[in-house]
Amino acid sequence: MNSWIVTEVTGSVSEGITENVIRSKDKVAENKEKNFVSCVVYLHNEGKEVKEFLAKICGVMQEHFEKFEIVCVNDGCVDDTVEQVGAFLADEKEKPVVSMIHLSYYQGVESAMNAGRDLAVGDFLFEFDRCELDFDPSLILQVYHRALEGYDVVAAAPKYDVSLTSRLFYLVYNWGSRYGGKIRQERFRLISRRAINRVNQMNTYVPYRKAMYMNCGLKTDTICYDNKEMVKKHHNREERGNRNTLAVDTLIIFTDVLEKLSLTVSVILFGALMVMFGYLVYSIFSKVRPVEGWLSIMALMSFGFFMMSVMLTLILKYLSVLLNMGFRRQRYVIEGVEKLT
């Protein structure tokens, strides 16, 4: 009789605790964001940083989002990056949804991130171009909340660790840009599904994502954060060479820098031609007599260089149109896609 009473009481207490646990879990789930979020992470020899980086990113995602996925892009890693991703998943109690895209060979950050973006299915997409945590993880949620205010593209930009060459590139790009959007160095960005669809409609291949996002016609914003205490030098020669090539291509495709320079040279040479013509008229009605033949030769040379610069301006404009028409095909090669969890 007594044992039956104890059992009944114990059972009711146990059920009460279980109900409280379920209610608390439901309450936590209610507070989480309902949007499906994808995180695309670029990997190229990130064996030392990738485990800590994924742990921080997944921590934020698990705490604040009901559903999310991690899409890692292996861009020809030759170190233990892929193994470290597996080690991270082995240590996780709550296994996140992680996919790994293996590119056939090293193809650079832009092509790799294009591949990751095409595989991701989230309502919002985080793009992490490198495994560098020089920001507080709470910045991820800050960027997300900023997007919910009506911005389709929100970037997080560091105030420090911007090289002189990068500053020069952005200065030249913003000066010659044919669009209104200004760009700067970014650590990561959040793009809505609407912005992704808009960019895909503009061009099948995205040669420089940052420029395409900022000039897609939708609302964009940039959050600058102070990273002075957390700066980490994280560059390699292979990536630097790829970015140099990308910088040249970007200036040609998205800006009028070459055309403006050529037009400036044309104006200068036209001014020199006018000066020579004015001096020729002056010498006819004055007592000053220049060296015989010098004036005509200089006038002819000025006129010749002026016409050459005009022709160069027209050729550059024509080539820019051809280049824009040429970027109509996808330019990454995938070896395979692996579902890790």
Please give the chain's pLDDT, 341 residues, in tens. Answer: 455 443 454 455 445 544 554 454 444 456 789 999 999 999 999 999 999 999 999 999 999 999 999 999 999 999 999 999 999 999 988 889 999 999 999 988 988 999 999 999 999 999 999 898 889 999 999 999 999 999 999 999 998 877 788 888 888 888 887 776 788 889 999 999 999 999 888 765 667 888 888 888 899 999 999 887 776 655 555 566 666 666 766 776 677 777 777 778 777 877 877 777 777 777 777 766 666 666 667 667 777 777 777 777 667 666 665 665 555 455 788 888 988 87
User: Strand, helix or coil at 38?
Assistant: strand
Rounded to whole angstroms, how far apart are CA atoms 227 and 233?
12
Residue-wise pLDDT for 49-61, tens only, equals 999 999 999 999 9
Q: How many C-beta neighbours within 10 Å does residue 336 have? A: 10
Q: List the chain domain ranges.
A: 31-253, 257-326
The span from the first CA to the last CA of the chain, in angstroms, equals 51
Rounded to whole angstroms, how far apart are CA atoms 49 and 70?
16
Provide the pairing of β-strand 68-74 with 37-43.
Answer: parallel
φ/ψ bin of 293: left (φ > 0), alpha (ψ from -120 to 50), beta (otherwise): left
Short-list 309, 233, 244, CA closest to 271: 309
Rounded to whole angstroms, how far apart are CA atoms 131 and 79?
15
- Taking the whole predicted model, whether its pTM rises above 0.75 is answered as no
Residue-wise pLDDT for 319-335, tens only, equals 665 665 555 455 788 88
CATH 3.90.550.10 for domain 31-253: yes
Buried-state track 274-295, b at ≥16 Cβ within 10 A, e below 16: eebeebeeeeeeeeeeeeeeeb
